[in-house]
Amino acid sequence: MRGWSRAERAAGRRVAFVPTMGALHEGHLSLMREGLRRGASLAVSIYVNPAQFGPSEDLEEYPRTLQDDLAKCEALGADAVFVPTDQTIYPEGFQTYVNVERVTGGLCGGARPGHFRGVATVVAKLLNIVEPDVAIFGEKDYQQLVAIRTMARDLDMPVEVAGCPTVREPDGLAMSSRNKYLAPSERRAALSLYRSLGVAEEMVAAGETRAAKVLKKVSQLIESEGARIDYAEIVHAETLEKLDKIKRPALLALAAFVGSTRLIDNRLFA
């Protein structure tokens, strides 16, 4: 992988990189298209990273569709696909992990202890292996994007970290590989996250600055549809520190369980 990347750059071609866990959907493909727009050569990785799953999470059940994923990469025009094994990423004796501290303290970092330690470590390894000029991530996983930008800046990694807008289903549900878990009735309940973001945006546009009032309305709407809130917070969009008074740029971040499926979504007030 590294040899291919270095050969591309030696030939004067810019390398763009999209790391994924597979089960590719239109959200991933949008990142890949952005990669093609930004770089002359596109590399994609497919790896379900065990280090970012908690002991009671869905590592074993996480969808794995490698042949379909490879076909999608080829059809879209990716130049290289890196599919490492666990032994490649975490060889025997592996003991070095990356912690990005303050920006991972709340939201998914608070709800999923150790998650971002696993994310930062695998992304650091992938960036060291692929050596891209630009790496592209989705804004649906907003905290992940902030954490990786912070890591790249703090560790002087020679890579641009770019974010792309959330891609949604026609009904508004944010695209996620975990959407495959939803039964039809759960799918309807899951739309409460998207609707609640719209309600919050209307409140903020009308001049509401009290985070607690917005969050109360959001929580009521989601829970009325039968979903269970994991967290609903309004934070500063860059530091991810919790806000009592909404000041732009701010982020409304949500995580909720619909049945046993955990979904996340967000809305930026820029």
Q: Is 231 helix (H, G, I), strand (E, B) or coil?
A: strand
The amino acid at residue 152 is A
Instruction: Locate the domains of the chain by residue range.
Output: 2-164, 177-269
Closest CA to 138 of 33, 42, 14, 235: 33
| Cα distance between residue 121 and residue 148, in whole Å | 10
- 177-269 has CATH 3.40.50.1970 classification: no
| Strand ranges (E), the chain | 15-20, 41-46, 80-82, 134-138, 160-164, 228-236, 250-258, 261-269
Give the pLDDT confidence of 113-139 residue by residue, as tens digits. Answer: 999 999 999 999 999 999 999 999 999
Determine if the pTM surpasses 0.85.
yes
C-alpha distances in Å from residue 85, one per residue of 65, 127, 177: 15, 16, 20
Asked if 28 is an active-site residue, the reply is yes
Give the pLDDT confidence of 229-254 residue by residue, as tens digits. Answer: 999 999 999 999 999 999 999 999 99
pLDDT at 32: 98
Residue tagged active-site, from 25, 28, 115, 236: 28
Mean pLDDT of the residues in the chain: 97
Q: Is 22 helix (H, G, I), strand (E, B) or coil?
A: coil
- 2-164 has CATH 3.40.50.620 classification: yes
| Cα distance between residue 77 and residue 37, in whole Å | 11
- pLDDT, average across residues 161-181: 96
Give the pLDDT confidence of 93-116 residue by residue, as tens digits. Answer: 999 999 999 999 999 999 999 999
